Amino acid sequence: MSEEMTLQAFLDHVNAGRPVRPGTPEGSFQGAFAVETQRLTAELNSAFHDPDGIRDLLSRIAHRPVPETLRLFPPFTTDFGVNTHFGDDVFINSGCRFQDQGGIWIGDRCFIGHDVVMATLDHGLAVADRATTYPAPIRLGDDVWVGAKAVITKGVTVGDGAVIAAGAVVTRDVPVGVVVGGVPAVVLREIPAS
C-alpha cells in the first residue's frame, strides 16, 4: 500500500476488520483525520445551532448528507465520524460519544439516550501490541432504544425493537425484541407484542 492513503482505502481496511497499527499508512491517516473531525465537533458543541445547522455540521463530519429526520442534541463527540450511518427518524440525546472507525449502523426510529458510548475499536492485550486498534462494527436494528449511559462495544449487533437498559455494558449480540441490562448486559425479559 502506498504511503498516501485515501479515505476510501482506509474505510476498506477497517470495514474488512483489519487492525490499525502505529507507524503504518492506516495509523497515520487515522490520526490526521481525527484532527479535522475534532475541529468540526468543537464547532458543533461550542455554540447554538438550530436543527438544520446541526444536521449540516453532521453532514460535514460524515462527508455525506445525513437524513433530514435525524435529531441530535449536542454535545456530541466522534473521533472519526465518516463511518457512522444513520437511518430515518433517529434521535440522539446529549453527551453521546461514538468511536466509529469500525462502523456504526443505526436503524430507523432508534432512540439513543444521554451519554451513550459506542466503541468500535479495541486494543491489543499484549503490551507490545497495545497501541494497535482492532475494529469491528456496531449495528442497531430498527426501533432500538438505548438507555442513558449505556456502553456498546465493538462487534455487537442489536436486534430490531430491543431495549438497552440505562447503564448497561453490551458486549454480546442482543436478540430481537428483548430488554437487556447489567454489566455485562444479559436478557432481562421479552418485550410484549403491541
pLDDT per position as a tens digit, 135-150: 999 999 999 999 999 9
Q: Tell me the C-alpha to C-alpha distance, in Å, between residue 156 and each of 24, 45, 152, 174, 185.
A: 27, 28, 7, 8, 12
For residue 4, the model assigns a pLDDT of: 76
Peptide bond into 184 cis (omega under 30): yes
Rounded to two decimals, the pTM is: 0.94
Q: Tell me the C-alpha to C-alpha distance, in Å, between residue 31 and each of 22, 27, 36, 82, 133.
A: 9, 6, 10, 14, 12
pLDDT per position as a tens digit, 54-88: 999 999 999 999 999 999 999 999 999 999 999 99
The answer to whether 75 touches 98, Cβ cutoff 8 Å, is no
What residues act catalytically? 123
Cα(40)–Cα(52) distance, integer angstroms: 15
Residues 6+ apart with CB under 8 A from 172: 156, 184, 185
Query: Is the pLDDT score of 156 beyond 60?
Result: yes
Residue 12: how many CA atoms within 13 Å on its side-chain side? Answer: 6
Model confidence band, residue 1 (pLDDT cutoffs 50, 70, 90): very low
For residue 2, the model assigns a pLDDT of: 39
For residue 147, the model assigns a pLDDT of: 98
Lookup: cell for 8: 476510501
Query: Is the pLDDT score of 3 beyond 70?
Result: no
Q: How far does CA 19 lie from the centroid of its chain? A: 18
pLDDT per position as a tens digit, 9-48: 999 999 999 999 999 999 999 999 999 999 999 999 999 9
pLDDT per position as a tens digit, 92-114: 999 999 999 999 999 999 999 99
